[in-house]
Amino acid sequence: MLKLLLVCFWLLRPMVSETLAINDEKAQIVINYFDDNAQKVPVSGSSWILVKVARIVTEADDKIDGLKIISLVDGLKIDKNSEIEEILQHLELTKQDESHQKVMNIKGLEVYEKITNDQGQIIFDDLEPGVYLGLEQSAAAYHLCAEPFLLSVPATKDGVESDMDQTVEPKAVLGGNLRISKKASGNAVDRQERFAMMIEIPSGTYRYRFADGQTGYISAHQQLLVNVDNDVIIYDVLANQEYKVYEVKANQDGYKTIYQQNEGMIMAKQEVSATIINERSYHDEVDTKVASMIDLALGLWVLSIIVILGLGFLDKSKEHKR
């Protein structure tokens, strides 16, 4: 779990004028957001918010370790041992709104929102000393939202006092798209029929869009109803994980189901395609009916032979008794 890095300024001298100086300083938090690879490709177009959850002030009582944390979240104490999960739960973080974006009950807290530029950078400046929670609100294309972060300004690192400027580099979570195509061939295909497809993808909830404009969200091991020639794309599925797509009622109602690349690996920043084809023709139905009639005739013929043999056996039994 991510821990809040909060340390005291051991160099502060017991002088009121110096211990109060921090209260008037301004801070800067920089986000450098790159793909998690050697090239460090910038992640642009990612929306982040910064929420101030506590103030940091110095006391005027001549204490050497005079830093004081004042929580701004009602009913929650924030200190150097605070955990992100606890703060998120208290802020009622949810993903269940209509747009499926993260929603917070921030209860009047100071919130700053910016989008990463072409260099994958955001600069939040002119900030007061405090504890800040960083959240990716909307991920860039082919990405999932990164883990939130919690940091304070001022802070120290490895026992060395830092200034009021802090930099954070979130770890990017890469995704890829999954396209599902439903095709049909033959002269007995109902092109208005909706076929149930089971979608096995990594855990999570993902946005989808059909070619006709229908949109929604789907989670792992859920079904989608797909029409012929109405492709659906599932966006930003967790990369380097396996997927599998199959028809719930395959090879039924006279249909022959054919799969093409219906299982494989989600590729980072790419689109993979799974195609399901249904074949059905009138001559197939006729052949099936003829075959059924032949089977029925053969069955009746065998049954009649059994009956005749049985009757002959009974007659012989009667003659033997006489």
pLDDT for 124-154, tens place per residue? 999 998 899 999 999 999 999 999 999 888 8
Rounded to whole angstroms, the Cα distance separating 48 from 266 reads 26
- Helix (H), strand (E), coil (C) string for 84-140: HHHHHHHCCCECCCCCCCCECCCCCCCEEEEECCCCCEEEEEEECCEEEEEEEEECC
Query: Is 237 in contact with 176 (CB distance < 8 Å)?
Result: yes
Please state the separation of Cα 239 from the chain's center in Å. 10
* pLDDT number for residue 163: 67
The structure tokens listed for 47 are: 């929306």
* pLDDT number for residue 213: 96
Amino acid identity, position 188: A
**Structure confidence by residue, pLDDT tens digits, 150-194:** 988 886 555 444 567 899 999 999 999 999 999 998 888 888 889
Q: What is the CATH number of domain 175-279?
A: 2.60.40.1140
* pLDDT number for residue 27: 85
Point out the residues of the chain with pLDDT beneath 70. 1-24, 37-38, 59-66, 92-105, 107, 155-163, 283-295, 297, 307, 309-322
Within the chain, where are the H helices? 16-19, 84-90, 282-321
**Domain boundaries, given as residue ranges, for the chain:** 16-171, 175-279
* pLDDT number for residue 15: 29
Amino acid identity, position 260: Q
Q: What is the CATH number of domain 16-171?
A: 2.60.40.10
Phi, psi of 290 (to 5 degrees): -60, -45
* pLDDT number for residue 63: 39
Q: What pTM was computed for the model?
A: 0.71
Q: Are 16-171 and 175-279 in the same CATH fold?
A: yes
Amino acid identity, position 288: T
The structure tokens listed for 282 are: 């009138």
* pLDDT number for residue 165: 87
Tokens 């972060």, residue located? 149
